[in-house]
C-alpha cells in the first residue's frame, strides 16, 4: 500500500495518490510524508481534504511543519489552523522559529491569539500546558434534553465530549456528567439530580507527573483543570497523559544513566548536543574515581609485595557496581510509581540487608571455590578476596537501596542516585576494605 | 478525614464510619482498608453498599481479597461478583489459591464459569488476558434511534459504551461508532451510513506491548479484540493499557540493571525471591570479570615495574562503564518507544562515533591536564592513560550503541545489552589497550 502510494507520487500521479491516501489513518499518512521529497510533499499536502490535512499536520515532525507553513499561503495557514485543536496548535508553535510563529499569529483571530499567549505562559510540564480547552460546559438547572441539545449545537468541534462539566455563572466547577449517563436518563431529568458532584480536579499549575499519577490511581479518562479560583479552564485527556508517562520514564532512565534529560529523539539530536548532555556527569564521575585511584596509590607497597591482589580489582569493582545498580534501580522505580514512600526507608534497609546477605554469601562461596580450588590462588588471598566480595555486595545494596530514598526526603530527584554514582562511592570504600584486610591477613 | 475514619472504626462506631466512607473514592477506601485490623475490616466491608463494596474489592491487595472471600458467606460472594467486571474477576482469581477459586466458581452461573475458564486460558500478557467483554454491539441496519434504545437497555452495565461496535450475524466486526456521533446524528439515520468501517482491531493473541504501541501511535481510547475468524470477542480500554506501559518500562529497567524481571512490588516480595532474581546475572557478570582480572595477571610484569599504572585502573574502568551505559540506555529506550528501528544501525554508529569523539577528546584533555600538570605524573604515563581513556570512551559508546540494535536484529531483548554487560566487555578490551600502550610507550 505504502509502496504503491510512493510510486504514484514518484510518477506524478497526485490525484490517484490522493485517492489512496485518504483511505488510511492520518498517523500513517504522516509517516508516509516523512519519506517524500519536499517538493512532492507540498503538492500532495495542498490537495488533501482540509480535515485530513490538519490531522496529518499535527502528526508530522516539526521540521516538516515548518517547511509546510513557510511554503503555503496565509489563507491556507488559516484553513489548517481552523481545524487544529488549540493544544496541538500550541505544541506546534512551541517548536517553531520566530518568523513562523509571526506568520501564524498574524492569521489568527484576536481571541485565539489571546488564548495562545495564555497557554504559552503556563509553566512547561504543568497541567496548564497539557490541557485542552475544547470541552462542553453545562448548567445544573438544565434538563437532560436541553443538555443533549447544547451538546449537539457545540459538541461537534470538541476534542472529547464523553464527559461534560457543570459550571455556575462564575464558571466555578460544580460537577461532571458523562454522555453515557445523559443518554441513559430520562429527557426531563435535571442535571443537578444526576451529576457527579464529588469530581476531582487539577490545578493549572500542578506538575504533569502528579497529573499522570492521579490518572493512574483513579483510572481517569479525562479530568477537569481549574484555576486558583476553582474556575474551569480546560480538561486533560488520557491520551496526553500517556505521552507524559513515557516521557517521565525516559527522563528517569536518562538521569539513571548519568545523562542530562532531553525530550528530543536521539536520531533528531545533533552529535554536539548529545555530547553536551553526556559530558558533565562523565567529568564529575571521572574526577570522583580518582579518589579510588588514590587509595590504590596509598597501598602501592602492599600491592607490590602481593601483585596478584591487583588482578581481583576489576571483579570486585564490577560486582559492587552491579549489585548496587540492582538495588537502586528497584527503589528508584518503586518511588516513581508510588509503590513505596520515603517512610518505608527502614523496611527497605531491612530487606536489602537480608537480600545482600543471601546474595553476598552465594557469590563469595562461588568465588572462593573458583579461585582457591580451581585457580589455586593462595589461601589467605582467596579469603581476603571472598571476604571483601561479601562486604562489597552488602555495602553496595544498602547504599543503593537507601540513597535514593534519602534523596527523595531531601526533595532531590532519586533518579540521580543510580548505578554510576553508587558505583563510585562503593568502589572507594571497597578498595579500602580490600587492602586493609589484605595488609592484616597477609601481614604486608 | 482518613484519621477520623480510622478513629471511628477504632471506637467501634461502624455506622458513623460507614457514612464518612461512602462519600470518598473507592480507590481511597481501598487504601484505608489496607491499614485496618482484619476483624474490623470485615465488619466494615459487610455493611458497605453493594456497589461500593465491589469497587473497593477490585482495588485492595490480593492478600486482603483472599481474607475477605474466605470469611464471608457464599451469598455475599455472589453479591460481590455480580457487580464486578469480568476482567477484574479474572485478575482477582489469578492471584487466589485453589480453595478460594473453587469457592468463587461454585457461586457463578454456568455461562460465567465458561467465560472465566476461557479467559484463564489466554496467554499471559496477551490482548485476550487484557480485554474486557463488557461492550455494546449494534447492527448496521439499525437506525440511530434503535441504537440508542439498545444502549439504554443493555448499556448500564457495560464498562465503556463511549464506543459501540457494529457486527454482523456471525459476530464478525463490521465497524465502530461513538456515542458522540450517535447523539449528534438524526434519529432516523442508519448506522451503516455513519459508522466508521476502517476500524483497526487487535487479535486475542497479540502481545500486550504491541497493543500498547498501537494505542500510543493512534491515540486510541478503546480498541476491539477479535478472534482468528475476526469475530468480536472483547475490547481493550486505555486504562488497562496505562498499566501495561508502566509494567513494560519497569521490566526493561529491571533487565537493564541485570535483574530478572518481576511484576511484584518490591515491598511485597520476599528477600529470598528478590535474591533469586538478582543472583544469576551477578554470577555471570562476576565470572566474566575474571577475564579482565586475567589480563592484569598477564601484564603483572609491566605493572610491577610501573606501579602507578594500577592507580588509574578504577578511573578507566568506571569512565568506560559510564560512557557505555549512556549510549546503550538511549538506544534501548529509543528502540522500545519505536523512535528508531534496527535499520538505523549505521546512523547510530555514525552518531556514536561523532559523540564519543567529542566526549573522548574532552575527557582525555581534562585528564591529561589533571594528572600531568597537577598530580605531576610522568609524561609518558600521562600520555598512556589519556590515550587509553579516549580509546575506551569511543569503544564503550560504539559498543553500547550498536549491541542493543544487534540484539534486536537477532530477536533478542535489547534491554539485556545494557550497562552491566557493556561494562564487562569494554573493561577487558580497555585493559589490553592500556597495558599494550604502556609496554610500548614506556618500554617495559
Based on the fold, state whether residues A51 and A172 are members of the same structural domain: no
Strand-pair category, B222-226 with B202-203: parallel
Quick one: pLDDT at residue B126? 84
Which of B88, B144, B355, B431 to mutate to test binding with chain A, by most A CBs within 10 Å of its CB? B355
Residue pair B292/B431 in contact (Cβ under 8 Å)? The answer is: yes
**Spatial separation of the C-alpha atoms in residues A375 and B268, rounded to whole Å:** 41
- Residue A129 covered by a domain: no
- Residue B257 covered by a domain: no
Q: Which helix (H) or strand (E) holds A223?
A: strand A222-226
- Residue A132 covered by a domain: no
- Residue B77 covered by a domain: yes
- Residue B309 covered by a domain: yes
Grid coordinates representing B24 are 470518598
CATH number, position B109? 1.25.60.10
Rounded average pLDDT over B133-158: 80
Q: Which residue of B has its CA nearest to A219?
A: B239
Residue pair A172/A233 in contact (Cβ under 8 Å)? The answer is: no
B22 touches chain A (CB under 8 A): no
Based on the fold, state whether residues B108 and B236 are members of the same structural domain: no
Residue A159 scores a pLDDT above 60: no
B249 touches chain A (CB under 8 A): yes
Confidence of residue B161 (pLDDT cuts 50, 70, 90): low
Q: Is the dihedral of CA A72, A74, A75, A78 positive or negative?
A: positive
User: Which residues on chain B are in Cβ contact (under 8 Å) with A20?
Assistant: none
B318 touches chain A (CB under 8 A): yes
Number of independent structural domains in chain A: 3
Quick one: pLDDT at residue B35? 81
Q: Which residue of B has its CA nearest to A316?
A: B286
b/e map of B142-169 (b: 16 or more CB within 10 Å)? bbbebbbebbeeebeebbbbbbbbbbee
A330/B366 touch (CB, cutoff 8 Å), yes or no: no
Quick one: pLDDT at residue A390? 93
Residue B240 scores a pLDDT above 60: yes
**Spatial separation of the C-alpha atoms in residues B259 and B244, rounded to whole Å:** 19
Residue B157 scores a pLDDT above 70: no
Based on the fold, state whether residues A27 and A168 are members of the same structural domain: no
Residue B86 scores a pLDDT above 60: yes
Confidence of residue A57 (pLDDT cuts 50, 70, 90): confident
Strand ranges for B146-209 from DSSP E: 163-167, 173-178, 202-203
Which of A216, A249, A282 finishes a domain? A249
Which of A188, A221, A249 finishes a domain? A249
DSSP string, A392-423: HHHHHHHHHHHHHHHHHHTTS-GGGSSHHHHH
Based on the fold, state whether residues A100 and A239 are members of the same structural domain: no
- Residue B261 covered by a domain: no
Q: What is the pLDDT of residues B319-347, one digit of tens each?
A: 888 888 888 888 888 888 878 888 888 88
Give the number of C-alpha atoms closer than 13 A to the C-alpha of residue B37, restricted to the C-beta side. 8
Confidence of residue A394 (pLDDT cuts 50, 70, 90): very high
Quick one: pLDDT at residue B394? 92
**Spatial separation of the C-alpha atoms in residues A194 and A190, rounded to whole Å:** 7
Q: What is the pLDDT of residues B174-197, one digit of tens each?
A: 888 888 788 778 888 888 888 888
User: Which residues on chain B are in Cβ contact (under 8 Å) with A56?
Assistant: none
Based on the fold, state whether residues A277 and A381 are members of the same structural domain: yes
Count of CB contacts below 8 A, A vs B? 332
CATH number, position A229? 3.10.580.10
**Spatial separation of the C-alpha atoms in residues A30 and B219, rounded to whole Å:** 14
Q: What is the pLDDT of residues A81-103, one digit of tens each?
A: 777 777 778 777 777 777 777 77
Based on the fold, state whether residues B14 and B158 are members of the same structural domain: no
Which of B191, B215, B247 finishes a domain? B247
Rounded average pLDDT over A376-389: 85
Nearest to B359 among A278, A339, A358 (CB): A278
Residue pair B372/B379 in contact (Cβ under 8 Å)? The answer is: yes
- Residue B255 covered by a domain: no
- Residue A278 covered by a domain: yes
Q: What is the pLDDT of residues A112-130, one digit of tens each?
A: 777 777 777 787 788 888 8
Q: Which residue of B has its CA nearest to A275?
A: B355
Quick one: pLDDT at residue B390? 93
Closest by Cα among A427, A286, A284 to B364? A286
Q: Which helix (H) or strand (E) holds A164?
A: strand A163-167
Rounded average pLDDT over A38-64: 82
Q: Which residue of B has its CA nearest to A354?
A: B271
Closest by Cα among B98, B261, B85 to B159? B85
Rounded average pLDDT over B207-235: 86
> What is chain B's mean pLDDT, rounded?
82
Q: How far is B347 from chain A, CA to nearest CA, in Å? A: 8
Q: CA of A271: how far to CAs of A96, A115, B96, B321, in Å?
A: 21, 37, 52, 20
Q: Is the dihedral of CA B204, B208, B210, B216 positive or negative?
A: positive
Residue B310 scores a pLDDT above 60: yes
Beta-carbon count within 10 A of A44 CB = 22
Based on the fold, state whether residues A431 and A343 are members of the same structural domain: yes
Could you tell me how many helices (H) and strands (E) chain A has, helices first? 22, 6
Grid coordinates representing A283 are 567529568
Based on the fold, state whether residues A164 and A54 are members of the same structural domain: no
Domain that holds residue A168: 137-249
A312 touches chain B (CB under 8 A): yes
Based on the fold, state whether residues A415 and A313 are members of the same structural domain: yes
DSSP string, A100-143: HHHHHHHTS-HHHHHHHHHHHHSPTTBHHHH-B----EE-TT-B
Q: Which residue of A has its CA nearest to B423?
A: A318
Q: What is the pLDDT of residues B356-366, one digit of tens each?
A: 888 888 889 98
Based on the fold, state whether residues A214 and A288 are members of the same structural domain: no
Residue A444 scores a pLDDT above 80: no
Cross-strand bridge partners of residue B207:
B126
Based on the fold, state whether residues A110 and A65 are members of the same structural domain: yes
B351/A271 touch (CB, cutoff 8 Å), yes or no: yes
Residue pair A415/B257 in contact (Cβ under 8 Å)? The answer is: no
What single DSSP character describes residue A289? H
Based on the fold, state whether residues B396 and B420 are members of the same structural domain: yes
Calculate the CA A398 to chain-centre distance.
Answer: 27
**Spatial separation of the C-alpha atoms in residues B388 and B382, rounded to whole Å:** 10
Rounded average pLDDT over B215-225: 85
CATH number, position A343? 1.10.357.20
**Spatial separation of the C-alpha atoms in residues A138 and A148, rounded to whole Å:** 10
Residue B124 scores a pLDDT above 70: yes
B314/A354 touch (CB, cutoff 8 Å), yes or no: no
B283 touches chain A (CB under 8 A): yes
Quick one: pLDDT at residue A180? 77
Percent of chain A with pLDDT over 70: 98
Amino acid at each position: 500500500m505504502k509502496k504503491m502510494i510512493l510510486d504514484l507520487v514518484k510518477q506524478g500521479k497526485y490525484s490517484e495518490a490522493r485517492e489512496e491516501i485518504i483511505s488510511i489513518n492520518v498517523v500513517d499518512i504522516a509517516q508516509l510524508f516523512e519519506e517524500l521529497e519536499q517538493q512532492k510533499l507540498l503538492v500532495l499536502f495542498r490537495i488533501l481534504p482540509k480535515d485530513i490535512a490538519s490531522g496529518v499536520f499535527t502528526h508530522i515532525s516539526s521540521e516538516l511543519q515548518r517547511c509546510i507553513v513557510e511554503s503555503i499561503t496565509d489563507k491556507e495557514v488559516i484553513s489548517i489552523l481552523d481545524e487544529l485543536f488549540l493544544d496541538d496548535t500550541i505544541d506546534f508553535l512551541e517548536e517553531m522559529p520566530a518568523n513562523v510563529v509571526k506568520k501564524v499569529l498574524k492569521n489568527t483571530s484576536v481571541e485565539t491569539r489571546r488564548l495562545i499567549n495564555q497557554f504559552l505562559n503556563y509553566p512547561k510540564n504543568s497541567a496548564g500546558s497539557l490541557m485542552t480547552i475544547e470541552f462542553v460546559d453545562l448548567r445544573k438547572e438544565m434538563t437532560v434534553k436541553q443538555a443533549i441539545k447544547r451538546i449537539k449545537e457545540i459538541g461537534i468541534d470538541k476534542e472529547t465530549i464523553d464527559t461534560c462539566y457543570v459550571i455556575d455563572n462564575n464558571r466555578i466547577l460544580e460537577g461532571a456528567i458523562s454522555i453515557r449517563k445523559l443518554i441513559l436518563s430520562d429527557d426531563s431529568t435535571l442535571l443537578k439530580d444526576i451529576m457527579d458532584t464529588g469530581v476531582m480536579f487539577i490545578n493549572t499549575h500542578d506538575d504533569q507527573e502528579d497529573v499522570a499519577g492521579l490518572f493512574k490511581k483513579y483510572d481517569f479518562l479525562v479530568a477537569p483543570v481549574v484555576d486558583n479560583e476553582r474556575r474551569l479552564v480546560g480538561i486533560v485527556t488520557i491520551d496526553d497523559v500517556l505521552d507524559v508517562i513515557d516521557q517521565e520514564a525516559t527522563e528517569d532512565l536518562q538521569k539513571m544513566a548519568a545523562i542530562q534529560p532531553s525530550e528530543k529523539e536521539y536520531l533528531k539530536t545533533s552529535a554536539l548536543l548529545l555530547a553536551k548532555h553526556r559530558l558533565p556527569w562523565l567529568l564529575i564521575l571521572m574526577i570522583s574515581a580518582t579518589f579510588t585511584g588514590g587509595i590504590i596509590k596509598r597501598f602501592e607497597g602492599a600491592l607490590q609485595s602481593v601483585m596478584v591482589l591487583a588482578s581481583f580489582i576489576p571483579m570486585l569493582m564490577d560486582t559492587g557496581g552491579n549489585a548496587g545498580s540492582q538495588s537502586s534501580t528497584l527503589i528508584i522505580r518503586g518511588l516513581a510509581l508510588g509503590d513505596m514512600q520515603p517512610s518505608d526507608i527502614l523496611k527497605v534497609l531491612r530487606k536489602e540487608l537480608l537480600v545482600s546477605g543471601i546474595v553476598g554469601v552465594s557469590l563469595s562461596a562461588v568465588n572462593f571455590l573458583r579461585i582457591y580450588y580451581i585457580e589455586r590462588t593462595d589461601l589467605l588471598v582467596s579469603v581476603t578476596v571472598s571476604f571483601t566480595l561479601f562486604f562489597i555486595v552488602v555495602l553496595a545494596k544498602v547504599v543503593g537501596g537507601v540513597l535514593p530514598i534519602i534523596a527523595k526526603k531531601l526533595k532531590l530527584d532519586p533518579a540521580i542516585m543510580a548505578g554510576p554514582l553508587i558505583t563510585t562511592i562503593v568502589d572507594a570504600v571497597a578498595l579500602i576494605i580490600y587492602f586493609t584486610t589484605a595488609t592484616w591477613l597477609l601481614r604486608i
